Amino acid sequence: MSDELKYLSKLAAMGRLDRRAFLGRAAALGVTATFANTMLAGAARAADPVKGGTMRVGLGGGQSTDSFDPALATNEAPNTMLSFFGEKLFEVSPEGELVHRLAEDHGSDSEARVWTFKIRKDVPFHNGKKVTPEDVKATMERHSDETSQSGALGLMQGIDAMRAENDDFIVELKEPNADLPYLMADYHLVIQPNGGKDDPAAGISAGPYTVVEEDAGVRYIFEKFPDYWDESRGHVDRIEVLVINDDSARVSAVQSGQVHMINRVPPRIATLMARAPGVEVKSVPSRGHYVYVMHCNTAPFDNNDLRMALKYAINREEMLEKILFGHGTIGNDTPINAAYPLFTEIEQREYDPEKAAFHYKKSGHEGPIVFRTSDVAFPGALDAAQLYQQSVAQAGMQLDVIRSPGDGYWSEVWNKEPFCNSYWNGRPTQDMMLSTSYQTGADWNETKFSNAEFDKLLVQARGELDEAKRKEMYHRLNMILRDEGGVICPMFNNFVDAISDQVEGWHDDPNFPLMNALAPVKCWLKA
């Protein structure tokens, strides 16, 4: 049996490929209808979830300052756990398609300026109240409020008015936006009672699990919500989460059976780990990327020649080889790669010490350049910083690397210090990625980039319905970032997770680690 046919049967068993489509594609592979039907029935039986048990999860990317306020989720551990207790209007499938969740239908006017979302009826919150269009409206209002410090603020700035009418939540935009439903799938936009205005960190939403215990940055316990509305999720009775930021300890935890799954498998040991009994390594190409961010409004990084010098002084090929060990692809100083719709190729920037030295001299800067990093920034961040320090030196520059403590890095260093490490897991569309992290005024504009042409073109691209024109606009937007922005993107990373052989129901998902953070709620344990 071919790997392709196995994959197709797996998709069909999970409900992501209907029977007619499966039989048609199987026939194209030369498989008889009788055999295909037999295979489909067997796959369906194998995919029947086992109910019960406790799923134990080891997560890197957590700290003691973490909160269950969806607006403040900044790193991987809390971002993941939002999917345990939270529900949104939409999700995005592994194939990039929109999946209805609390919104059971949606549509817009001909200009994509007025959008209507029909809210699913009789879905209970954990506090016993039912989800209403008013709760959805209040949620979006809170994330539109600058005082909330929401990571989704940049996505919400295009909204002119919102209202709830009968079963509908209606949004009127300042400018057309063909991607608005995808924006509503952002992981921050968990629907909360009264939008979370009363107690945003209470961990109350309409998801499959309720929060039972919260020891921030250490340990969490979730229990199955008995009134959860979707029977296809929430198979285990209980989820226990350990925050394990140390790579070796996290790997040991899944190898020893202490936990059933982990995120952030260090790429340097992924191949060796895959050979160990009882553990499967899942390496999934993604939109995720590791970055070095410079504040464009802070000296000396307000000088574009210095920024260009630091871009030419990074050896991307070396980092890809020595940090990702093949679990990724090369970057080009923009957050967008070929995994995104409407992507167009841009000439690859190469490591060039001579050009780096030229721009450095032109900048007029003298003395060391301070760069801050941490082992929680991304797997291999400290080793990558050493490689960068060496390649910068070849261009006649001095990079002083300061290692910051992992606990507090995302609250005390990131988005505050003018030159540091960061990482992104990407977004489903270019507009979401660019609006969240590079639009003027966005709360998560980590490079403090502000460019009038960029902002104007981003709005135009958002509402352009002609695909060819839209591709041209995104090409120009990425060229502006590449040549004028404050981001250095050496590489795009695979999501490298590991699961015990006791876990079933896994499927690859390029949207976020651990099956778009849904592995603990979609997978189950062998009987």
Tell me the mean pLDDT in the region 281-289. 95
Range picked from 138-152, 261-275, 431-445, 470-484 for highest mean pLDDT: 470-484
Q: Is 90 exceeded by the pLDDT of residue 527? A: no
Which is nearest to 486 in space by CA: 317, 288, 290, 302? 302
In tens, the pLDDT along 1-50 reads 555 566 666 666 555 555 556 666 667 666 666 566 555 545 544 568 99
Question: What are the residue ranges of helices labelled H in 236-346?
Answer: 247-255, 267-274, 304-312, 316-319
Distance CA 517, CA 118 (A): 25
Residue 107 vs residues 93, 159, 345, 354: alpha-carbon distances, Å: 19, 16, 32, 54
Cα within 13 Å of Cα(522), Cβ side: 15
Which is nearest to 494 in space by CA: 223, 285, 318, 326? 285
Distance CA 271, CA 269 (A): 6
pLDDT band, very low/low/confident/very high, at 296 (cuts 50, 70, 90)? very high
Q: Quick check: 225 and 234 in contact, CB under 8 A?
A: yes
Q: 56 or 340, which is more confident? A: 56
Q: What is the mean pLDDT of the chain?
A: 92
- H or E segment and range at residue 165: strand 159-165
| DSSP conformational letter for 70 | G
Distance CA 347, CA 432 (A): 23
Q: What is the pLDDT of residue 45?
A: 43
Q: What is the pLDDT of residue 320?
A: 96
In tens, the pLDDT along 419-473 reads 999 999 999 899 999 999 999 988 899 999 999 999 999 999 998 888 899 999 9
Which is nearest to 282 in space by CA: 63, 512, 13, 21? 512
Distance CA 383, CA 466 (A): 44
Q: What is the pLDDT of residue 264?
A: 94
Distance CA 359, CA 361 (A): 5
Which is nearest to 301 in space by CA: 162, 458, 446, 107? 446
Amino acid at 502: Q
What burial class does residue 198 get, using C-beta atoms within 10 Å of its C-beta: 0-12 exposed, 13-18 middle, 19+ buried?
exposed
Q: What is the pLDDT of residue 341?
A: 86
In tens, the pLDDT along 181-203 reads 999 999 999 999 999 999 999 99
Q: Quick check: 217 and 406 in contact, CB under 8 A?
A: no
Tell me the mean pLDDT in the region 191-220. 97
In tens, the pLDDT along 40-88 reads 545 544 568 999 999 999 999 999 999 999 999 988 999 999 999 999 9
> In the chain, pLDDT over 90 holds for what percent of residues?
81
Residue 143's φ and ψ, nearest 5 degrees, are: -75, -15
